[in-house]
């Protein structure tokens, strides 16, 4: 529920100084496309690897990759961690790629999460909440139906956890395998997802050169915008002066009421509902049951299995995209 607070503090310690690089902006052409989002560099990596990028547009320090993915015209972007960042990035995408209603025709989100099932399982919730189920934001019925057909045909998922590339050094994230799972990961269709805001309305700042979890850009596109450093310093100040930030270090256990626990999806679903475009989210458990190393839950499991979960979520998302392109 409060999933990445401790990770943020670790990032500030581990990643000290921030080298700068320049960024350029580009004009945006109109056309129908899907908006595809992932919260962190490790989660966007498998998607970007399969995207044929025609243009990279830098807006507000964020790279938007315009191209094709599994037969779909897409805009692929790193949303950032947390509800505030996810909502802001989604709105920026509509403001710049919406083309007065003729641009973004749907939204797909892929990433990791907590949950009450097994590490590596991929959830495709039918609805999302930010208030413990008092109100719900439904996924699009047509997208869910397409996902269900894809799942019925089967999607190959990893059974072993890759080491990843935590420092975004350019190494192959799949070159080294850490452990094998006895549990064959499953795709869990339907159910409920929950998105929490442990940052109490503050945007979680990315860390320039912050690796595959906290970084400001995908590992495959290691631009550092000059505005990243002041944005980080400005964004970090209200978090560190808020006593609730330090009180929220401990992670609440996942509830069996919710199949996926994250910090972004419901915010994206809310913008999709406001803009009246279809939406679906794919989340794979990075911490949960079946850990062969018996690690003590979050954040230890997340650090070891983040690549494993990110790739399984992306595999199902891309199988869905391949089927959705027929529309």
Highest mean pLDDT among 2-6, 57-61, 114-118: 114-118
Using CB atoms within 10 Å of the CB of residue 53, give its burial: 0 to 12 exposed, 13 to 18 middle, 19+ buried: middle
Among residues of the chain, what percentage have pLDDT more than 70?
81
Highest mean pLDDT among 117-126, 166-175, 235-244: 117-126
The mean per-residue pLDDT over the stretch 110-120 comes to: 97
Contacts of 73 (CB under 8 A, 6+ apart): 31, 32, 33, 34, 67
Q: Could you read off the pLDDT of 175-233 as tens digits, one per residue?
A: 999 999 999 999 999 999 999 998 888 888 898 889 999 999 999 875 555 555 566 55
Lookup: tokens for 123: 């959830």
The mean per-residue pLDDT over the stretch 24-50 comes to: 86
The Cα 11–Cα 5 span in angstroms is 10
Q: Give whole-number Cα distances, 64 to 73, 264, 304, in Å.
A: 13, 18, 28
pLDDT tops 90 at residue 327: no
Average model confidence (pLDDT) across the chain: 86
Highest mean pLDDT among 63-77, 91-105, 288-302: 63-77
Instruction: Compute, in degrees rounded to 10, the torsion defined by CA atoms 37, 42, 43, 44.
Output: 40
- pLDDT of the residue at 239: 57
The mean per-residue pLDDT over the stretch 254-259 comes to: 78
Domain ranges of the chain: 5-324
- pLDDT of the residue at 274: 97
- pLDDT of the residue at 238: 59
Pick the more confident residue, 244 or 318: 318
pLDDT tops 60 at residue 22: no
Domain 5-324: which topology?
Answer: Rossmann fold (3.40.50)
State CA 44 to chain mean position distance.
7
- pLDDT of the residue at 198: 85
Q: Could you read off the pLDDT of 73-95 as tens digits, one per residue?
A: 999 999 999 999 999 999 999 99
Omega of the bond prior to 42 within 30 degrees of 0, cis? no
The Cα 257–Cα 240 span in angstroms is 32
Pick the more confident residue, 249 or 264: 264
pLDDT tops 90 at residue 14: no
At 326, the pLDDT band (50, 70, 90 cuts) reads confident
Pick the more confident residue, 8 or 200: 200
At 23, the pLDDT band (50, 70, 90 cuts) reads very low
Among residues of the chain, what percentage have pLDDT more than 90?
70
pLDDT tops 70 at residue 291: yes
Tell me which of 84-98, 243-257, 259-273, 300-314 is least confident: 243-257
pLDDT tops 50 at residue 15: no
What's the CA angle centered on 180, arms 177 and 183, to 5 degrees? 145
pLDDT tops 80 at residue 281: yes
**pTM for this one?**
0.87
């Amino acid at each position: 529920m409060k999933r990445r607070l401790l990770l943020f503090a670790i990032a500030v310690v581990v990643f000290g100084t921030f080298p700068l690089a320049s960024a350029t902006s580009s004009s945006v052409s109109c056309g129908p496309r899907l908006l595809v989002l992932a919260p962190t560099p490790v989660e966007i990596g498998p998607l970007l690897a399969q995207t044929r990028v025609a243009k990279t547009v830098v807006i507000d320090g964020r790279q938007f990759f315009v191209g094709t993915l599994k037969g779909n015209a897409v805009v692929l972007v790193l949303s950032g961690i947390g509800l505030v960042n996810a909502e802001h990035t989604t709105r920026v995408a509509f403001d710049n790629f919406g083309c007065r209603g003729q641009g973004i025709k749907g939204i797909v989100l892929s990433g990791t999460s907590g949950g009450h099932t097994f590490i590596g399982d991929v959830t495709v919730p039918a609805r999302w909440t930010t208030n413990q189920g008092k109100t719900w934001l439904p996924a699009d019925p047509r997208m869910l139906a397409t996902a269900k057909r894809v799942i019925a045909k089967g999607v190959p998922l990893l059974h072993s956890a890759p080491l990843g590339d935590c420092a975004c050094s350019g190494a192959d994230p799949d070159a080294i395998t850490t452990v094998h799972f006895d549990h064959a990961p499953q795709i869990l269709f339907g159910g409920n997802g929950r998105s929490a805001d442990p940052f109490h309305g503050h945007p979680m700042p990315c860390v320039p050169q912050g690796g595959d979890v906290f970084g400001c850009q995908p590992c495959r596109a290691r631009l550092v915008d000059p505005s990243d450093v002041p944005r980080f310093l400005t964004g970090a100040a209200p978090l560190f002066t808020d006593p609730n930030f330090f009180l929220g270090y401990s992670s609440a256990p996942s509830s069996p009421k919710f199949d996926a626990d994250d910090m972004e999806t419901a915010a994206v679903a809310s913008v999709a509902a406001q803009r009246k475009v279809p939406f679906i989210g794919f989340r794979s458990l990075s911490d949960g049951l079946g850990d062969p190393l018996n690690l003590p839950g979050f954040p230890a499991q997340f650090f070891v299995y983040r690549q494993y979960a990110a790739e399984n979520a992306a595999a199902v998302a891309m199988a869905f995209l391949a089927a959705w392109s027929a529309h």
